[in-house]
DNA sequence: CATGAATGAGTTTTCATTCAT
DNA sequence: AATGAATGAAAACTCATTCAT
């Protein structure tokens, strides 16, 4: 295996600096209001240089988004995989995201806006984005189905359950980031996990 | 004091046509990408006419948003007020929104983007918007607290419960609108109400 | 002689109100920044009405300018005519203008800007304007020539002398209007008349 | 700290071309009627390029004005400083301006309009402009005062005398530029200097 | 590879002027 | 005659993208 040519190292270096900068700038201003000039300045390069690595403003935006999602996805999968029960899997799922976005607030701004955009204008999103996002849903769905089969929880629509977990996760993260002082992550996560867990696991019919 | 405009009717007519057009255009493209020219064309008037009724692009955007939210809020309050139990209140809450946004997909796009924006950049957004949105949360919170006092549900953090209801509602609506063919609203709503209800009402500790 | 038809009265009334308003508004903002809407509002009529009396923004501007100049010209001629000597004629000339513009500051703004414009872009001014303005110069020139013939003053270039009188007049008025508190007109005028008079009347050669 | 622009030469070149163009265009049309597009065309660059060097239409206007005034001021001071007597100082003062504006007619248009604007709406105008202009007046005033002290001229109000010199200068320049064929500068200047000099220097009382 | 000057399409907003009522 | 709603041309300014150095 040839060691990377100088240019590969350089490329990796620039790419990383540019994506960092992009995340900050898009996170601060949103896609439209962000400018290539600002990203370049933030990354410490000239404007033209951005175009040596990315074809367009959109494309650096997608790249930043994709990288963040991929990283988040990787972390999530790693931690969820270790969970022995669905309960723990859900807890790890939510906790991973809460912790990740606590670290990367800027990225959350991009992520959530894009997610809303997706929800709302499916035709627009980048082809790469939806699958990455859907994989999460499918992962949860599979876990839920397995738990049903194991008798851990009652028979629920696995797809809807997965959706609900995702929705509640987003809600927790959103509200955390809106507050100036953030509560301990574990406490907040446990509360929402408790809610969803009762929702999934309680059997029989409840008095309304 | 200027005598009244020749025709309040005309103003109402134009205003309404412009807000309709604004909703469609902002819904399709988002705030930044939308153009006044397109809104004008869509409303069947000349560009300058828009400025006879609204001072700026932002202001017609807010007007469209405000009108939609006010209408949604009114409908929601009316139906929730009639509900005898928290269970029914939650059901009506969600159902009202599902039905409203089924009718007004365009508006959902604006609404959800703005909501995400709020979550993410609270300093932006119009002053009018947050209160209108927070009122919802407080309404739910009050209902939850009352239900706890009546012993309908277990002791939960009312604020978190309200947040969860809002999050799940948004999720349901989002996913409905993403699908080409929409399921019956009632079925979908019942499923999510069931989930949240069990989450709130199930007492004792559950095996994990 | 038929008495004026109603419409003639009305026309006179409107015209006068419009010119007053125009003077104020053009005086306050200059030609470009002034708007027909503001003139109409100031005159207490609707925008469209302005166009019943004047064909265009330029034309109401010219009308306001012309009226002011004509009035100023009339006053000046009347007072200058009475003067027995050139010295008095000059004094009356300057005094009339100082007094007139003390009364009508707004008009001075229009007048002086237009005069500068004329000086600078002769091709632009309205055809009516230059003659009105030149008549002043010729009047002074004639008076100077007569004074030379009478031996009141030394032989000077009458045209240049007339120009100098006009220039100094403008300067006095300008500086008066720039100051918050205005000195007595007579004192200021006498000072400048003294200067110009010595300039014109002193004979022989002076040590330099 | 950004390293110096690649080429200060380029900046100087563009700046100069743009100011030249600005002078021509503002001179032709006045501030309001001039357009950035026309300035750009005149300078042989694209519209956007203007904004690389100046932040706004106003700012290129001020820059053109300031440059012209500064140059004129420098020339004037240099030549006036050399004059041994007030008579010569006045002559040099007027002559410098006549010659300068003979070269730069376009600039005169801007200059005189701005001066009128100042006279008439002091609150507008750029902060830099008034001092630059007032310095002239003060310079003349000082020279007049000194001449009085030396007994060169009679006791006159120095401030008024300075004003008169400025007014007459403007008049001479104006009238020169209005004519198609211009007389020799010296002849015209001498005539007006003679006038003002007699005005200032003639002692005793003159028959009126 | 990197730069940053140049470009010009595209957007918001204003306002003189028209014309149906 | 009067109105004022509607029009759309025009202008300042921004910024993604290109390309000569």
Q: Could you tell me the distance in Å between the CA of residue B46 and the C1' of nucleotide F9? A: 12
Taking only the tens place, the pLDDT of each residue in C112-143 is: 988 887 766 666 667 777 787 788 899 999 99
* Whether B109 and A88 lie within 8 Å, measured CB to CB: no
D35 touches strand F (CB under 7 A): yes
pLDDT at residue D167 is higher than 90 = yes
From C4's Cα to the closest Cα of chain D, the distance in A is 40
pLDDT at residue D56 is higher than 80 = yes
Instruction: Give the DSSP per-residue string, chain C.
Output: -PPPPHHHHHHHHHHHHHHHHHHHHHHHHHHHH--HHHHHHHHTS-HHHHHHH-SSHHHHHHHHHHHHHHHHHHHHHHHHHH-SSHHHHHHHHHHHHHHHHHH-HHHHHHHHHHHHHHHH-TTTS-TTHHHHHHHHHHHHHHHHHHHHHHTSS----HHHHHHHHHHHHHHHHHHHHHSSSPPPHHHHHHHHHHHHHHHHH--SPPP-
Q: How far apart are CA A156 and CA B191, in angstroms?
A: 9
Tokens of A7: 């240019």
From B88's Cα to the closest Cα of chain A, the distance in A is 8
Look at C18 and D135; give whichever has higher pLDDT. C18
Mean of pLDDT values over C50-62: 96
Name the 3-class secondary structure at A120: helix
Contacts of C173 (CB under 8 A, 6+ apart): C97, C98, C101, C108
Taking only the tens place, the pLDDT of each residue in B159-173 is: 999 999 999 999 999
pLDDT given at position B6: 55
pLDDT given at position C130: 76
Q: How far apart are CA D164 and CA D157, in angstroms?
A: 11
Mean of pLDDT values over D162-175: 96
pLDDT at residue C6 is higher than 60 = no
pLDDT given at position B190: 96
pLDDT at residue D178 is higher than 90 = no
CA A116 to mean position of chain CA atoms: 13
Q: How many CB atoms lie within 10 A of CB D33?
A: 12
Domains of chain D: 1-54 (1.10.10.60), 62-201 (1.10.357.10)
Taking CB atoms within 8 Å and a gap of at least 24, the contacts of A99-102 are: A99/A185, A100/A71, A100/A72, A100/A75, A101/A173, A101/A176, A101/A177, A102/A176, A102/A182, A102/A185
D45 touches strand F (CB under 7 A): no
* Whether C163 and D175 lie within 8 Å, measured CB to CB: yes
Q: How far apart are CA C39 and CA C23, in angstroms?
A: 9
From B2's Cα to the closest Cα of chain A, the distance in A is 40
* Whether D161 and C192 lie within 8 Å, measured CB to CB: no
Mean of pLDDT values over D63-88: 94
Provide, as residue numbers in chain A, all residues whose Cβ is less than 8 Å from the Cβ of B161: 195
B203 touches strand F (CB under 7 A): no
Taking only the tens place, the pLDDT of each residue in B115-174 is: 887 766 666 677 777 787 788 899 999 999 999 999 999 999 999 999 999 999 999 999
Q: Which nucleotide is closest to A7, CA to C1'?
A: E1
> What backbone torsions phi and psi does residue A182 show, to the nearest 5 degrees?
-95, 135
3-state secondary structure C58-106: HHHHHHHHHHHHHHHHHHHHHHHHHCCCHHHHHHHHHHHHHHHHHHCHH
Q: How far apart are CA B108 and CA B164, in angstroms?
A: 19
pLDDT given at position C127: 72
* Whether C164 and D160 lie within 8 Å, measured CB to CB: no
Using a pLDDT cut of 90, give the percent of chain C over it: 75
How confident is the prediction along chain A (208 residues), in pLDDT tens digits per residue? 455 555 788 788 999 999 999 999 999 999 999 999 999 999 999 999 999 999 999 999 999 999 999 999 999 999 999 999 999 999 999 999 999 999 999 999 999 888 887 766 666 667 777 787 788 899 999 999 999 999 999 999 999 999 999 999 999 999 998 888 888 999 999 999 999 999 999 887 777 6
Q: How far apart are CA B66 and CA D17, in angstroms?
A: 51
* Whether A196 and B197 lie within 8 Å, measured CB to CB: no
C41 touches strand F (CB under 7 A): no
pLDDT given at position B49: 98
Q: How far apart are CA C37 and CA A187, in angstroms?
A: 63
Chain F nucleotides close to protein (CB under 7 A) are 1-20
Q: Could you tell me the distance in Å between the CA of residue C44 and the C1' of nucleotide F1? A: 15
CB-side neighbour CA atoms (13 Å) of A55: 2
Mean of pLDDT values over D39-46: 97
pLDDT at residue D1 is higher than 60 = no
Give the chain B residue whose CA is nearest to the CA of A197.
B199
Provide, as residue numbers in chain A, all residues whose Cβ is less than 8 Å from the Cβ of B160: 188, 191-192, 195
Using a pLDDT cut of 90, give the percent of chain D over it: 76
A47 touches strand F (CB under 7 A): yes
A75 neighbors A96 (Cβ within 8 angstroms): yes
Nearest to A128 by CA among A76, A170, A69, A74: A69
Tokens of A22: 């992009």
Q: Could you tell me the distance in Å between the CA of residue D5 and the C1' of nucleotide F19? A: 18
pLDDT given at position D88: 96
């Amino acid at each position: 295996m040839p060691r990377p040519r100088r240019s590969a190292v350089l490329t990796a270096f620039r790419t990383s600096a540019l994506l960092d900068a992009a995340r900050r700038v898009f996170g601060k201003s949103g896609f439209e209001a962000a400018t290539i000039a600002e990203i370049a300045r933030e990354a410490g390069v000239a404007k033209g240089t951005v175009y040596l690595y990315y074809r367009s403003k959109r494309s650096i935006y997608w790249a930043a988004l994709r990288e963040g999602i991929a990283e988040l996805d990787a972390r999530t999968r790693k931690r969820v995989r270790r969970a022995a029960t669905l309960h723990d899997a859900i807890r790890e799922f939510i906790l991973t995201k809460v912790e990740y976005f606590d670290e990367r607030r800027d990225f959350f701004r991009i992520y959530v806006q894009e997610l809303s955009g997706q929800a709302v204008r499916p035709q627009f999103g980048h082809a790469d984005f939806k699958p990455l996002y859907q994989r999460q849903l499918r992962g949860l769905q599979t876990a839920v189905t397995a738990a049903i089969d194991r008798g851990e929880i009652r028979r629920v629509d696995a797809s809807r359950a997965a959706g609900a977990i995702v929705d509640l996760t987003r809600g927790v993260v959103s509200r955390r980031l809106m507050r100036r002082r953030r509560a301990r992550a574990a406490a907040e996560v446990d509360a929402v996990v408790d809610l969803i867990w009762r929702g999934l696991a309680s059997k029989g019919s409840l008095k309304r």
